[in-house]
Amino acid sequence: MDYVATLHFVALLFVASVCNFTFAPVVSYPTGPHPPDSVAVGDFNNDTRLDIAVTTYRGSNAGVFLGYGNGTFAVQATFSTDYNPWAVTIADFNNDTRLDIAVANGFDNNVGVLLGYGNGTFAAQTTFSTPSNPWAIAVADFNNDSRLDIAVANHDSNTVGVLLGYGNGTFTAQTTFTTGTGPYSVAVGDFNNDTRLDIVVANFGDNNVGVLLGNGDGTFAAQTTFSAGNNPNWIVVRDFNNDTRLDIAVTNGPDNTVGVLLGHGNGTFAAQTTFSTGKNPQSLTVGDFNNDNRLDFAVANYGTASVSILLGYGNGTFAAQTTFPTGNNPDGVATGDLNNDNRLDIAVASSTLGILLNTCYCCAP
């Protein structure tokens, strides 16, 4: 086979392995009298099937839906939190190989940690104080002691707080670092390639993102800001252009866009490039939905009752959105292979918990 023919053959193989992606109609699971606000995916009962955790708007609990491995879920079990848990995240905080839950209890000004028993149930929460109105949580090891720590965006106090973990499910008192106005969400990455983890927040009131470079001991330098759109809210960190440097993506609610700020690898970022979404995008997550080894976006469009998928080209740019209906007011979104078919599915917190199964075709098995 000559060189040109070989290239043609390889190209055909690549095309054959890429999904012509779409999603099945949303299937809804009730969360009780309060709609879900945030959603996370993990295996809570060690059966190799993915489960889902949600928190409820103006409720006082976390809901857990155990998965059957075929894209369907049991009726939720609830575990008490404090009032109005804005956000939920999952990690093993006490090193027992069982997943635990952490929530940002917005109206009670604390972070609640619910330790998992490994069977889908959880201990009563232990709370750790924060400043006013914590909205979002990120988990990482900020002081290099091999114990997970928590960063929390304190919306009403214009700070990000760091709670260093003891490795047993408990944490130190929070140390705070100044952000811009109304930090809405927080994410973690090494933005300047010094092997120390840094923090980025979406400063809702200042129309920018703030990067706080880490010192490797749980403390952080003063933030450096980079312009975003109007009222940036949800932020994620990945390498979107395959240059081994971390980039930032953020949803800009009133602008109906997601903005991408490509990283220079030294803690600074290029001006954002924006890509259209539905109305009032809120939560944002990342995955490869069409199996082309390029990162794509899934965005919860609060104002248009839909999720947008923006397929990535692998160079930091993205195709025009394709939208899929959800329940009303979708706010949180997460991804995982919920039916074990090697395709990424979507869980969305809207008026209910909604499941959108990926039904791409012409995929490699």
Provide the residue ranges of all domains of the chain, joining segments of one domain with +: 26-361
Amino acid at 173: A
pTM above 0.85, yes or no: yes
Residue 360 corresponds to which tokens in the numbers above?
Answer: 């791409």
Give me the residues paired with residue 151 across strands: 138, 162
- Domain 26-361 is classified in which CATH homologous superfamily? TolB, C-terminal domain (2.120.10.30)
- CA atoms of 130 and 319, how far apart (whole Å): 40
Q: Which residue has the tokens 């996370």?
A: 40
pLDDT in single tens digits along all 365 residues of the chain: 443 333 333 333 333 346 678 999 999 999 999 999 999 999 999 999 999 999 999 899 999 999 999 999 999 999 999 999 999 999 999 999 999 999 999 999 999 999 999 999 999 999 999 999 999 999 999 999 999 999 999 999 999 999 999 999 999 999 999 999 999 999 999 999 999 999 999 999 999 999 999 999 999 999 999 999 999 999 999 999 999 999 999 999 999 999 999 999 999 999 999 999 999 999 999 999 999 999 999 999 999 999 999 999 999 999 999 999 999 999 999 999 999 999 999 999 999 999 999 998 654 44
> Which are the contacts of 6, defined by CB distance < 8 A and separation ≥ 6?
none
Task: Report the 10 Å Cβ neighbour count for 70.
Answer: 12
CB burial of residue 313 (10 Å; 0-12, 13-18, 19+): middle
The string of DSSP codes covering 195-227 is SS-EEEEEETTTTEEEEE-B-SSS-BPPPEEEE
